[in-house]
Amino acid sequence: MDFRLPRPERSYLVCATPRSGSTLLCRTLAGLGSAGVPEEYFEARAETGAPRRPSDHLRGANDLYLPALLSSDDPPEAPPYSALRAGEDYSEHLRRTFERGTTQNGVFGAKLMWTHLEDFLPLARRLPQLAGAPLGVVLRWLFGDARYVWVSRRDRVRQAASLWRAIQTQAWRAGQEGAPAAEPRYSFAAIDHLLHRLAGHERAWLRCFAHERIEPLRLWYEDIAADLAGAVAAALRHIDLPLASSDELSAPTRRQADELSDAWVERYARERGALCTASK
């Protein structure tokens, strides 16, 4: 087996947590045709070859009844860019990833959630060159001197509420086709669990960047939503690519937040406040 990979000339990774605006940013960058095609190439679980099941997001929750609120716990259908093929060597998935994610100018982009590392690292370490390698070595061997863009959300309660809604409906962006018809239900326990989980993943990214001496470009959901062109321009400067004209920029997704999201956030704040008062 030839384990040499046709690695791209220039790479960047968008590091994020769910519902942070990373999809809006990545799809806009992909639409430029010169900034790679950043997708979640490493989202598949090793045991299923598909993205996470809804209940995977609830692991460690104190409320054991939360999975009962899910209408289904089947893993989502794996998109072509991230699906792992049964019995295939992981180097083949990496070859497809580099081919799909690289634009003609040699720029490769990918989006990486902290949860992806749970499967991505063991799979990458199956390559002889990376057996037992720490995260930093894996990233440098695969992506070279990559640039990093760190996407976060200031309003983490709203982020957690949005994530809980998406987990239930499996509609991860507005207008998504084929999402199951499921009426999302409010759960304080679920939102609270996801809030702490998201905070933990943000701290993990921070430790990773500090340990590897990576200086990422920090972008916030609220700023991306308010000024997409400005966020894209900042990302392109960080990647060292020419700035795009305003005619090249378009928002390929729209916000999913609505009155239901607002109601959930307000209800969570009331119930959290009541708990804090009762504990005094």
> Per-residue pLDDT tens for 218-229?
999 999 999 999
Instruction: Give the residue carrying structure tokens 């497809």.
Output: 96
Give the pLDDT band (50/70/90) at residue 257.
Answer: low
pLDDT given for residue 267 in this prediction? 96
Residue with the larger pLDDT of the pair 239 and 244: 239
pLDDT given for residue 162 in this prediction? 94
The percentage of the chain sitting over the pLDDT mark of 70, rounded to a whole number, equals 89
Residue 188 has pLDDT above 70, yes or no: yes
Residue 5 has pLDDT above 80, yes or no: no
The pLDDT tens digits for 10-48 are 999 999 999 999 999 999 999 999 999 999 999 999 999
Q: Could you give the C-alpha distances from 185 to 132, 164, 197, 214, 263, in angstroms and in order?
A: 43, 9, 19, 40, 12
- Own/partner contacts of 104-108, CB < 8 Å, gap of 24 or more, are 104/33, 104/34, 105/34, 106/8, 106/9, 106/10, 107/8, 107/9, 107/10, 107/11, 107/12, 107/34, 107/35, 107/36, 107/239, 107/241, 108/8, 108/10, 108/11, 108/12, 108/36, 108/143
pLDDT given for residue 277 in this prediction? 79
Q: Residue 90: which residues within 8 A CB-CB, separation 6 or more? A: 84, 123, 124, 126, 127
List the structure tokens of 242.
């020419």
- Measured between alpha carbons, how far is 92 from 251 in angstroms, rounded to an integer? 32
In 144-258, where does DSSP find H-type helix? 156-169, 188-212, 221-226, 228-239
Longest Cα–Cα distance of the chain, Å, equals: 64
- Buried/exposed code over 239-258 (b: 16+ C-beta within 10 A; e: otherwise): bebeebeeeeeeeebeebbe
DSSP output for 36-70? ---B-TT---TTTSS---GGGGGTT-S-TTGGGG-
Give the pLDDT band (50/70/90) at residue 183.
Answer: confident
Residue 258 has pLDDT above 90, yes or no: no
CA dihedral 21, 27, 29, 34 (to 10 degrees): 160
pTM for the whole thing?
0.91
Q: Could you give the C-alpha distances from 173 to 31, 244, 265, in angstroms and in order?
A: 17, 24, 19
pLDDT given for residue 275 in this prediction? 84
Kindly report the length of the chain.
280
What is the domain class of 10-278 according to CATH? alpha beta
Which of the residues are catalytic? 40
Residue 138 has pLDDT above 80, yes or no: yes
pLDDT given for residue 4 in this prediction? 66
Residue 156 has pLDDT above 90, yes or no: yes
List the structure tokens of 243.
């700035």
Give the pLDDT band (50/70/90) at residue 63.
Answer: confident
Residue 164 has pLDDT above 50, yes or no: yes
Residue with the larger pLDDT of the pair 66 and 280: 66
Mean pLDDT of the 185-213 span: 97
Sketch the domain layout of the chain as residue ranges: 10-278
Among residues 193, 271, 210, 225, the alpha carbon closest in space to that of 20 is found at 225
pLDDT given for residue 72 in this prediction? 86
Residue 179 has pLDDT above 60, yes or no: no
